[in-house]
Amino acid sequence: MKKIGLSLMTAILGGAIAVGAYKMVETKNTDASTFEDRQKVYFASNHIAPLVSSAGTVDFTQAAAAVTPAVVYIRTTYSSQGGGGQDQMEQMFGDMFGMHHRQQGPQKASGSGVIISTDGYIVTNNHVVEKADKIEITTNDHRQFSAKVIGTDPNTDLALIKISATNLPVVKFGNSDDARVGEWVLAVGNPFNLASTVTAGIVSAKGRSVGIIGRGDDDDDQTNPFSSPNLDRSRAQTPVLNKGIESFIQTDAVINPGNSGGALVNTKGELIGINSAILSHTGSYEGYGFAIPINLAKKVLNDIEKFGKVKRGFVGVQFVELNSDEAERLNIKTTNGLYVNELVPNGGAQQAGVRKGDIITKVDGTTIFESSDLQEKVGRLQPGDKVKLTVLRNGEEQNFAVTLKADNSAALVTNVKSKSAEEIYNNLGASFAPLSSEQKQKYNMKSGVLVTQVRPGRMFDQLGIEEGSVITSINKVPVNSPDALDKAISNVKDGILIIAGVSPDGGAFTNRYKMDK
């Protein structure tokens, strides 16, 4: 009997330890502050060992098997009147950013996404979900979900969306800085509506800036970098203030329409980039694909989840990327670096002592050859962080410690509308963050959510609800967190939303919005 009792106690104790360990892992996963932290807990708790590089044997089966389950198919619907973000992209770049299907009435497009957390967060391209009225996700095991937009960053062409699901497979983050030219990589996505397609190639180049993000119709250089090989890079004046951040990983792995937002992974099955664009005469594969480095994407995605938008620091300079032609025009001998032709008043660079006419040659000791060398480095940092700029002035190098200033420009893009909670959430055209204790005290309120991003042309923009406003209730249901918005917008009757809150100047408002059927 004693032996039986001892065995029973041992079993109970073992079970308690197992449950306790599980709860500790579960708590760690909940408390982890970044997507990368959560992934470490996920892979450690599931005892998933890193894959050994197969470059020597050129066997990609393990990497493909590890990644494919976590790459999703994204299908978007656009109203016929709205035109959709991809119509604009199609006009500019020849329908190369997603599969766009022309038809009468609502239009549809498709792309790819990568699951980065077990609870349903997915990274994709901003242009994949931009101005979509409805976002539908199909996972590799053929389950279907509606997705809501958590936030977007047009400056990097990234978007964070979410589905209501648990225990999802995840693609492990790699280190894009460690990627080497000539290294084997895989592109995983859904080109031409062909689900779960894997292609192989190599890293062809790093730090590519091809002039696609932040281009407008009024740009001086109308050369289309995605339909013509004659990109005039000497004319690319790039302020680190407003233009997009480009430091692409270039690959010759086959990327086609529909691959946008998919995964670029190394032979260990680690995510090193988010496929974003191709350079082509025809709109299909010609050997030049471009992916956003994951080290840049991680900062953007963590900011969107935590703050509702990207908190970006700025050097406060406008510059010209030097080459022999620019050096001759400016009458200078140096052909490498960034020529400072404008300073933002009271910006970080001006306050640190940088002058117009200086040539930025290094950032934190790393030599600058292209604008992307500076942009990506700065793009990973927060306002208040410092960078060391080395500049050439009167033939001598000088070092300046620049404190990055906050971005004061309005964030842009993405939306949606329709009947489900996810669609209504997207149709709000805004991103949200919890109220801090200071903000609660300022507005003398116990609950509410802060509007951190208002997207042009959508509901909040139409109602005149500004960034910095606080939403206290929707349809008389109090909201005290971004997640509580789901419950509130599920209480819609007769297609009418009643939105109550406080504007940035402290004035209370109540707005009614009639949604289209």
State the amino acid at position 265 in one-letter form.
Answer: V
Pairing of the two strands 172-173 and 270-278 = parallel
* Distance, CA of 473 to CA of 368 (rounded, Å): 50
Which of 307, 339, 362 finishes a domain? Answer: 307
359 forms beta bridges with: 339, 392
Q: Are the CB atoms for 388 and 397 separated by under 8 Å?
A: no
CA distances from 446 to 452, 480, 505 (A): 19, 8, 18
- CA pair distance 111, 124, nearest whole angstrom: 8
How much of the chain exceeds pLDDT 90, in percent?
31
Question: What is the predicted pLDDT for the residue at 201?
Answer: 93
Q: Tell whether 176 and 143 lie within a shared domain.
A: no
Could you report the per-residue pLDDT of 371-411, keeping only the tens digit for each? 878 888 888 888 888 999 999 998 899 999 999 988 533 22
Cα torsion for 304, 308, 309, 313, to the nearest 10°? -90
CA torsion sign, 112 to 407 to 93 to 375? negative
Residue 43 lies in a domain: no
In a domain, 413, yes or no: no
Q: Are both 272 and 356 inside the same structural domain?
A: no
From the candidates 95, 133, 157, 303, which is the catalytic residue? 157
Among 307, 323, 342, give the residue marking a domain's end.
307
Residue 435 token pair: 């109220």
Chain centroid offset of residue 497 CA = 29
User: Is 62 part of a structural domain of the chain?
Assistant: no
Q: What are phi and psi of 102, to 5 degrees?
A: -80, 135
CATH of the domain at 390: 2.30.42.10
List, in sequence order, every residue forming a beta bridge with 387; answer none if it has no partner: 402
pLDDT in tens, 247-271: 889 999 988 888 899 999 999 999 9
Tell me, yes or no, whether 179 and 269 share the same domain.
Answer: yes
Same domain, 176 and 288: yes
Range 156-182 average pLDDT:
93
Q: Find the mean pLDDT for residues 12-33.
A: 50
pLDDT in the model for residue 14: 52
- Please report whether residue 271 resides in a domain: yes
Active-site residue, from 79, 112, 260, 469: 260
381 with 427, same domain?
no
**Domain for residue 143, yes or no?**
yes
Residue at 23 is within a domain: yes
Cα 345 from Cα 428, distance rounded (Å): 35
Average pLDDT, the chain: 77
Same domain? 14 vs 109: no
The whole-number average pLDDT for the span 404-420 is 43
In which residue are the tokens 């080290």 written?
A: 295
- Domain of residue 149, CATH code: 2.40.10.10
SS3 405: strand
Pairing of strands 470-474, 477-478: antiparallel
Are 303 and 323 in the same domain? Answer: no
Alpha carbon 302 to its chain's center: 9
Q: How far apart are CA 461 and CA 455, in angstroms?
A: 7
Residue 167 located in a structural domain: no
Residue 455 has pLDDT above 80, yes or no: no
- On whether residue 128 sits in a domain, the answer given is yes
Domain shared by 333 and 300, yes or no: no
Q: Is 157 a catalytic residue?
A: yes
Determine the 3-state secondary structure of 100 from DSSP. Answer: strand
Whether pLDDT at 217 is above 50 = no
One domain for residues 130 and 248? no
In the block, residue with structure tokens 């509901």: 459
Q: Read out DSSP for 123-183?
A: EEEHHHHTT-SEEEEE-TTS-EEE-EEEEEETTTTEEEEE-S-SS---PEE--GGG--TT-
Q: Name the domain count of the chain.
A: 5
pTM attached to this predicted model: 0.65
Q: pLDDT, tens digit, for every residue of 350-374?
A: 999 999 999 999 999 888 888 878 8
Q: Which residues pair with 291 in a beta bridge?
A: 249, 275
Token pair in block for residue 156 = 């990097």
Q: What is the pLDDT of residues 66-106, one digit of tens each?
A: 999 999 999 998 875 444 444 434 433 334 344 444 555 57
Question: Per-residue pLDDT averaged across 208-213, rounded?
Answer: 70
Three-state SS for 259-311 is: CCCCEEEECCCEEEEEEEEECCCCCCCCCCEEEEEHHHHHHHHHHHHHHCCCC
Domain check: are 345 and 323 in the same one? yes
Q: Judge if 354 and 429 occupy the same domain.
A: no
448 and 360: one domain? no
Q: What is the pLDDT of residues 289-347, one digit of tens each?
A: 899 999 999 999 999 998 888 888 889 888 888 888 888 888 888 888 899 988 888 88
Q: Which sign does the torsion angle of CA 364, 214, 150, 101 carry?
A: negative
* Residue 11 in this model has a pLDDT that exceeds 70: no
Of 127, 133, 153, 176, catalytic: 127
Last residue of a domain, one of 379, 406, 433: 406
Please give the Cα distance from 485 to 470 (Å, whole number).
Answer: 13
| Domain, as residue range, for 88 | 69-162
Closest Cα partner for 404 from 311, 477, 318? 311
Sole residue written with tokens 């080459």: 323
